[in-house]
Amino acid sequence: MRKFIIIVIALLSIFASSTKTGGTAANSGGGIAWSNPTNGQACDNTYTTVVLSGEASSKYLLVTNFGFTIPTGATIDGTVVSIQWKGTILEAGVKDFDVSLVKSGIASGDNKAVAIVLPTVEETRNYGGASDTWGAGFTYTDWNASTSGARIKLQEGGGLEMETGYIDCVQITVYYTEAGGTKRYLIGYSRQVEF
């Protein structure tokens, strides 16, 4: 009886990705202004807040300057925007009204807001996905630019009570394929077979 060692190689594809928090946060557009918008830059339980009632909407919290260094020639596969936030629910609460990407200072692609009331305990809500480009056509140079990022607008749910929305931070994860093809890695294992 002869013994052979068969080497099995599994070739798996993986996404490369980069996750960052915004380096700049500011009020933008019409609506009720956010207080201390720069508090929305770091995930540290220090909040930027907005107080709304009667279906009023906030200004956009414009978060940019994420400091991405996506490699030259990479193809953008998808983007996830993750928002750590909470809100009061005295009556109708506060809901997401607009969650969009910003390319070189200009809103681009889909509004991913789903009009769901913010919880009273902080949570992270994710928008987009590893293969969701938001219809925005971002390139690696767009994401590496300091003027790209995301914008968030909240709306009060329709009650008379003054409701408060709180944002701790905004993170963006960009999934990409490096130039030259999908990144891959090998997993090898051996198995002894008798004949």
pLDDT tens-digit profile of 151-179? 999 999 999 999 999 999 999 999 999 98
Specify the 3-state DSSP secondary structure of 141.
helix
Q: Identify the CA nearest to 10 among candidates 168, 190, 161.
A: 190
pLDDT of residue 155: 99
pLDDT of residue 16: 84
Q: Given the structure tokens 């933008």, which residue do they identify?
A: 28
pLDDT of residue 184: 29
pLDDT of residue 15: 61
- In this prediction the pTM is 0.85
Specify the 3-state DSSP secondary structure of 121.
coil
Bridge partners for 51 per DSSP: 164
What is the chain's pLDDT, residue by residue, as a tens digit (195 residues)? 555 444 433 333 456 888 999 999 999 999 999 999 999 999 999 999 999 999 999 999 999 999 999 999 999 999 999 999 999 999 999 999 999 999 999 999 999 999 999 999 999 999 999 999 999 999 999 999 999 999 999 999 999 999 999 999 999 999 999 988 654 222 233 333 332
Q: Strand runs (DSSP E) across 29-122, as ranges?
A: 48-52, 60-64, 75-87, 94-103, 106-108
Q: What number of helices (H) and strands (E) belong to the chain?
A: 1, 12
Domains of the chain in sequence order: 15-181 (2.60.120)
Percent of the chain as helix, strand, coil, to the nearest 5: 5, 55, 40
C-alpha span between 153 and 74 (Å, rounded): 31
Spell out the residues 6+ positions from residue 49 whose beta carbon is closer than 8 angstroms to its own: 34, 35, 36, 164, 165, 166, 167
